[in-house]
Structure 1
Amino acid sequence: MKKKILPMFFLLSLAIGLCIAVSGCSALKLKAPANLRVSDDGFLSWDEVDGAAAYRVFINDGVFDTDENRLDIFWLTDSYDVYLIDVVALDAKNRIKSESSELFEYDLQDSGGWTLQYNGEGYDVAGTEDSKNVVSGKVILPSVYNDLPVTGIADEAFMLCKNLTSIIIPDSITEIGQAAFNCCTSLARAELPRRLQSLERIAFGGCKTLTELKIPKTVQYISGEMMNGCNGITTLEIEEGNEIYESQGNCIVRKADRQLVCGTKNCEIPENIASVGENAFYKMDIEKLSLPKGVESIGTAAFQNCEKLKELCLPDGLKTIGSRAFSGCAFDYVSIPMSVESIGGDAFNFFHGLSVTLPKSVKKLGANAFDKYVTIYTDLKHDENYPEDWKLPETQMDSSFIYSFDSYAPAFPVKRRIITDCVFVCEDGVPYVDSFNPEHNLDSDAGNSDNPYQVPGRAGYVFGGWADGNGNVVWHTEFHIFQKVSGSAPSSSGADLSYTPKSKYILSLSGPAGEIPSGNLLYAVWTPAN
């Protein structure tokens, strides 16, 4: 590589000399660019020079101008080599106005940790037994090996390679296998090849440093799990001309049936979609979700483990909610639209207490559709049989957990609450609780910290308690703070019970049950949220 140093410095010195002799700039007025560095996503940058209008970058024998104090060299450094880089500042007329920067040596070498395997027609890139400990920095894959094309990246080829920062994938690659880059947590850049045919499940799962993914028009199959947990991605696009998919608002949509296949945490869900596919937003850091009208089904695990999802609004017209669709989320209440016919198993199964407005028009509830800490408000009558396909566990649960309530930490049973005889009012097909008859629902100790009910919810409103027919609030709400504790504590019977509950603020009712006239309706008090 030393033979490249002389030509570059000769050209640079000649350019600066010509600037002084021909342009009459007897003095170079600007400071030399300093602190050259290359980021993980392939950008060369340097400290901004005051007064500079542009910069000229010399990379080995190449010369490149840029208006910014950085240059994308990802594809300019597409082979393993030592790149000698120098930068000068320019004025508005593109005249050199500074000394050159100190010579920067960008040494790009193959870290190893991957191999090539014959597939019958060409080669696939595959991992080795020690890939996760060896692969690091920028990886450049070949397009040809032994005079045969390199056409695929095998399943799990770079899985758990946490020191992989970027990768150049040649256009000969047509398939990226399952989990090929799964949990490559430092991967900042991976540009997809122009002949790519498929993106398999979790191909880029857990690549939290990746910021954009641009999919070529040649792709014929995209798994909904392709980028699960990639919360750093802010740009998700598919090239125009793809016959099967299109991109809208950082979502990938399948054209034939208008299914949303996958999306980013900052996406704008298109108004014209008909369904949300399986695993479409698995483990995404979505905080609010309002699905548009027209969505009829939500697939299995579509929003599973979206642990920051605290607000959910489901649309009228929704018919099916798949298994585990919202398992592991963080919202406190959900109103099931009147149009919903089926809710899959474990659909809303997560640890903390959940309030559900559930119309009896729902025909099918899968096993553990709601977790054991749920309070269900339903328009079923107390003496009415549950629908045959409502598979609910026993109402009374065992004393499996102990909570710390302020300074008082008794052992108490966690109960499933089903509040019947509710009167619903609908807003755009989504019900909320207007009133209910407490005679068949509230125990004498209801509202104590030992036995909390979750209050009902309504989008855009705050629940303010239960009022009698004269408008007097007879049951109030308060926050019960359940602190996370680990270890063991004495129960009321003197036995030791292990407990590790999750920290959570839970709304519950408080007030003496004796103040509620037997047989009278209680009316929900709703105040618009700020």
Structure 2
Amino acid sequence: MKMDRRGCFGIINIVGVLLFLLASVGWVHAEFSEPFTYVVNTSWIQITDCDQSASGALVVPAELEGKPVTSIDDRAFSYCRYLTSITLPDSIVAIGDFAFASCDALNSIIVGEGNSHYSSIDGVLFNKAEIVLVQCPGGKAGVYTIPGSVNTVAEQAFAYCDHLTGILIHSGIDTIGEYAFRDCQSLEAITVDVGNSKFGGSSGFFMVRAPVSRKRTIC
């Protein structure tokens, strides 16, 4: 079947557009380097997954294939139940949603001081300015006091922290993200400073308690 000149030009134009788009975003392909799966772009690397059997202390490399590791994809480390700590390099500028969800033994997320986007205090992940609590690791136990610099608790920041028994919220907290305390199986109380005008009580501290049969309602 013959193709007229307009058809040929149409195909050439489509191919040209595709080549332009590929050149614009950089060629992307997936690779694996134990225990990481990652995406390679012309100028950056994104960690997309981690072997769920990985255990102990894990260090995310600053570079792979000579390119900087700049981001962690959504759920990249979720259900890595045997990791006890994760160290992130200074090159990380973006962390996806639920990146560390259901990491039951994870006690600390460590960020170097040279990172321009994130920081960590006592193993808990914050933004660089330490005003947003991004993620409490799932292995944290006992009662946790949110630092005084924080004004925002991110969405699902404490979700699935099954070993926490209490959380103390100071007067400066004015934003708590959706499902911030979801499915915290051992959480007995969230204590809010009376000085907190948005979440606080009228005297002393305001205690939010959950009967054993209704723990999920506050988590």
* TM-score bracket for this pair, using the shorter chain length: 0.5 to 0.7
Aligned residue for 1:197, secondary structure, equals: strand
SS of the aligned residue for 2:29 comes to strand
Question: Are the structure 2 counterparts of residues 304 and 227 from structure 1 closer, same or farther at C-alpha, using a change threshold of 3 Å?
Answer: closer
How high is the TM-score relative to the length of structure 2?
0.62
How many percent identity over aligned positions?
Answer: 18
Alignment of 1:348-367 (within 5 A): 359=201
Matched to 1:185, the amino acid is Q
Q: 1:332 aligns with which of 169, 185, 188?
A: 188
Q: Does 1:206 align with 2:79?
A: yes
Q: In structure 2, do the counterparts of structure 1 residues 209 and 175 end up closer, same or farther at CA, with 3 Å as the change threshold?
A: same
Q: Structure 1 residue 252 and structure 2 residue 107: aligned? A: no
Name the residue aligned to 1:305: 160
**d(CA) in 1 for partners of 2:53 and 2:173?**
39
What is the TM-score when the length of structure 1 is the normalising length? 0.29
Instruction: Tell me if 1:192 matches 2:61.
Output: yes
Shift of the 318–237 alpha-carbon distance from structure 1 to 2, 3 Å rule, reads closer
1:301/1:205 CA distance change after superposition, 3 Å: same
Structure 2 gap ranges (5+): 1-21
What SS is found at the alignment partner of 2:86? strand
1:124 and 2:18 aligned: no
Deviations 1:444-465 (A, max 9, x none): xxxxxxxxxxxx97xxxxxxxx
Q: How far apart are the structure 1 equivalents of 2:118 and 2:35?
A: 29
Structure 2 CA distance for aligned equivalents of residues 250 and 315 of structure 1: 19
> Shift in Å at residue 204 of structure 1?
1.1
Matches within 5 A, 1:134-283: 151=40, 174-177=45-48, 180-181=49-50, 184-188=51-55, 191-194=60-63, 195-223=68-96, 225-234=98-107, 236-255=109-128, 257-258=129-130, 274-277=131-134, 280-281=135-136, 283=138
Please give the alpha-carbon distance, in whole angstroms, between the structure 2 residues aligned to 1:231 and 1:253.
Answer: 19
CA contact (8 A) 1:229 1:283 kept: yes
Q: Distance in 1 between the 2:141 and 2:84 partners?
A: 16
- C-alpha RMSD over aligned residues: 3.9
Structure 2 CA distance for aligned equivalents of residues 214 and 327 of structure 1: 25
Shift of residue 334, structure 1, vs aligned partner: 3.6
State the distance in 1 between where 2:59 and 2:47 align.
12
List per-residue Cα deviations over 1:298-329 (Å, max 9, x = no partner). Answer: 22222123233222222223223333222323
CA distance in 2, matches of 1:210, 1:217: 20
Relative to structure 1, is the Cα distance of residues 289 and 234 closer, same or farther in structure 2, using a 3 angstrom cutoff? closer
1:438-457 to 2 correspondence within 5 Å? none
Q: Any idea what SS the aligned residue of 2:83 has?
A: coil
CA contact (8 A) 2:101 2:160 kept: no
Bigger helix fraction? 2
Map residues 449-528 of structure 1 onto 2, 5 A cutoff.
none
* CA spacing shift, 1:323–1:340, aligned 2, 3 Å: farther
Aligned residues of 1:321 and 1:342 also touching (Cα < 8 A)? no
Letter of the 2:45 counterpart = T
Change (3 A) 1:196 1:318: same
What is the distance in 1 between the residues matched to 2:35 and 2:163? 34
Instruction: Give the alignment of 1:380-395 within 5 angstroms.
Output: none
Any residues of structure 2 matched to 1:3-22 within 5 Å, and which?
A: none
Q: Distance in 1 between matches of 2:113 and 2:137?
A: 26
Sort the Cα spacing of 1:241 and 1:230 in 2 relative to 1 into closer, same or farther, 3 A: same
Shift of 1:198: 0.9
Aligned to 1:512: none
Q: CA deviation at 1:284?
A: 4.3
Query: Of 264, 289, 297, which residue of structure 1 is paired with 2:144?
Result: 289
Distance change in 2, residues 1:295/1:208 (3 Å): same
Alignment of 1:25-40 (within 5 A): none
- 1:178-197: CA deviation from partner (whole Å, max 9, x where unpaired): xx23xx33123564242101
Structure 1 unaligned regions, length at least 5: 1-118, 128-137, 142-149, 153-171, 259-273, 344-357, 360-423, 433-455, 458-479, 483-500, 504-530
CA 1:206/1:425 → structure 2, altered by over 3 Å: closer, same or farther? same
Measured after TM superposition, the shift of residue 200 of structure 1 is 1.8
1:151 is displaced (CA, Å) by 1.8
Cα pair distance change 1:220/1:209, threshold 3 Å:
same
Residue 140 of structure 1: how far off its partner (Å): 9.1
| Cα distance in structure 1, aligned partners of 2:35 and 2:95 | 24
Answer yes or no: is the 8 Å Cα contact 2:104–2:162 preserved in 1: no
- 8 Å CA contact 1:282–1:304 kept in 2: the answer is no
| Residues 301, 174 of structure 1: alpha-carbon distance in 2 compared, 3 angstrom cutoff | same
Amino acid at match of 1:174: I
Check 1:122–1:322 CA distance in 2 against 1; reply closer, same or farther (3 A cut): closer
